[in-house]
Structure 1
Amino acid sequence: MSASDIIRPLARRRLLRAGATTAVLATAACNDFIPSSGPRIAGIMKPATVQAGDPGPASDPAMNYAVVTLDSGVVARAEGDTPLNLFSAGMRSRAAAESRFGIGDILSITVFETQSGGLFIPADSGARPGNFVTLPQQQVGRAGLVTIPFAGEIRAAGRTAGELEKAIAGRLRQRALEPQVIVTLVERRSAVISVIGDVSQSLRFSLDPGGERLLGAIARAGGTRFAPHETLVTLQRGGVSESAILADVVEDPQLNVQLAADDTIIVARQQRYFLALGAVGQTASITQLNRRFPFEDRRLSLGDAIARAGGLQDDRANPSAVFLFRFERRAALARLGIATAAFAGEEVPTVYRADLLNPTSMFLVQRFPMRHNDLIFVSNAPSTDLLKFMQIILPFAQTGALSATMAQ
């Protein structure tokens, strides 16, 4: 063996060691050597004067949460849950408002007597036709009273036309000849309904004696500016506010509630969104990807949401690790038979898991309903970590092999 044959392997090993050392120094010590869009975590956390908050390690997070794997029972119960935004049973069961006079209403009152010579009709009435007299129109005062000649002040607010007619006739019975009274509503200025917000024209109108329903009031205001599935209708009554999505009101006649005096209807656009993170969507795109997606429909299933997010990435996704993160109502989890005693509050952090390697799950995700602000996360397949590691190591191995070849 010649001296050159001994020197070449030594030189090759030295070059490999030098290349490996340079790579380690470049990646571990020289932050300026590797491109970056900003400081690394150590560069932000270490110089801080004060650090607060601790989510806990990944193996033992600070926030407790429940994990539920989708099956037919879970999906059936989820489909049966009522939406969060619905009018209460008390508001839905209200009957049409009875027509009663209120403060500000303008009334016309006519008094009839059986013959001339009574209180309002003189014995010598001349050419005057009829046996009645119509009093000047008057407005129900702030105290809720109207004034009748020879009868004084009588309460009108809160009474129906028939009740007020009987009250006036009773006061006049001792002085008039068998008086009969007819009360007519000339102009209603009480029992006002207000419709404001994202409607064609804000409106304030008086409640009709026959009653009015929610959709009718919105129609009076010219309809809404946005699609029903992204329009939230809030009804304020007696210091209480309740809301429903307009699309639900259109579909369910029971939600088209009867209005009451002094109701206020607020129409506002409320787009519902979900988030999709992880191995979803296109692997590469010439435009910036948006991970926040609008519902664009009244109902959206988990399958719809995954498809709208671009589906699972074929080269990255783990189909058995599709997760949906949501704050679930405690009562909903209790119906699933899940113990909730360990959780505080009415909303429980919950993770729903779908195993899309199982064909059954393909049907289940088509029925599982999405909610506003749900977050979908699809984990990477285990092989992706190996591929990433190989992508880091391979350039250095190639550099070492090239150096060894050149040294020969």
Structure 2
Amino acid sequence: MPSRYDDLSREQLAVLVPELLLIGQLIDRSGMAWCISAFGREEMAQIAIEEWAASSPIYTRRMQRALGYAPAPGEGDVVTIFKGLQLDIGAPPQFMDFRYTVHDRWHGEFHLDHCGALMDVEPMGPDYVRAMCHDIEDPTFDATAVATNPHAQVRPLHRPPRVPADRQPHCAWTVRIDPAHPPVAAIAQCEVIARTHAAGLDLDPIDPADDGLADYAGPLLADLDFTRFSRSALVRIADEVCVQMHLLNLAFTLAVRARAGEDAELLRTITTRQLVGIAGVAAARLHRALDLPDVMAGALRVLELHPLLNPAAYVDASFAAGELRVRESAATRDGAWITRCGPSSIAPLQAIVRAVDPHLDVEVAGTDEEWVARLVVREQPAPVADEVAVTRFSTGADFAFEPRRSLPISPV
């Protein structure tokens, strides 16, 4: 099925891709607030570990294959790991400003000149900083590296809590690959996520004849200049980034379900509130970045481009005449985000359209599997949903990207 991003220009896609990467990072700013409320800080940290460790090895390998830099068995090196981080929702460009050093194929370092996640968590106190930068980062960095080489180890040189309080860079890490290192294995939850439709989703291949880069098989670049990629490559990257978000969300749902037990209502409440928060913030960023109109047509276009409803190969939806029509699909069979929308759950759709204009609303009819949402205009503007307001506390909600030069990194 053709991508819903296929009618965007190359220039628009180069704007869209970093936006999607940042949106993926902000999913946790929405979801973890409700996990803390329900389960406490320590269980929240365990949920974060499980969701990232269960999803990142899968989507990292997907992007390696899509962009032609997948290593042969046993040949995955630090350059491959660093390329993967540049295309990972866990490390969106500039907001998580990774700077890389390559010593040789098996030894490298990175540091963060700016960590947006730290800026969000630091005001909450050192316990929350330690939970993110120690408890969560240690297993999840290794889980990401295992997608490239199970003998890779990512270890800190220094990391927050920052001493002194304004220490720069925010953190620094080594990456070493050595056959003598005990191999890292994927966690059991990763095997569950690997069996989802999202994990094995087939997307259209990149057209090598299209103008611009069709892969990332060349040297590691300090910053990815997305304008250098072909339109076809950017479409595939955008769809892959949406798959990353779905896989992360499926792993999040799996982790929350393990804590909610028999309380199905608690599971549904937490996962729906997570979606409402990220849906509204994502819609606002897409609307602003692509300069879409502040009218009903603009809201429908935001819906069409929103990660909730992408890729088209995963979520079966159509958009016309002020209506969104959703049908049963691989996403509904996975229990993905779209299952948190429908006649009995309109808040995520309301958050999206109200990010364009607070006077907009939706009326939804049908069943939980197949439904139609019609956009309507209300006389009075709606207030911002609590879930969206919580997510907006992140500095990522209003983060602005800047132009960067794309320079190759040579071993030092």
TM-score normalised per structure 2:
0.17
The structure carrying a bigger strand percent of its residues is 1
Whichever of the two has the greater Rg, that structure is 1
More helix by proportion, 1 or 2?
2
TM-score of the superposition, structure 1-length normalised? 0.18
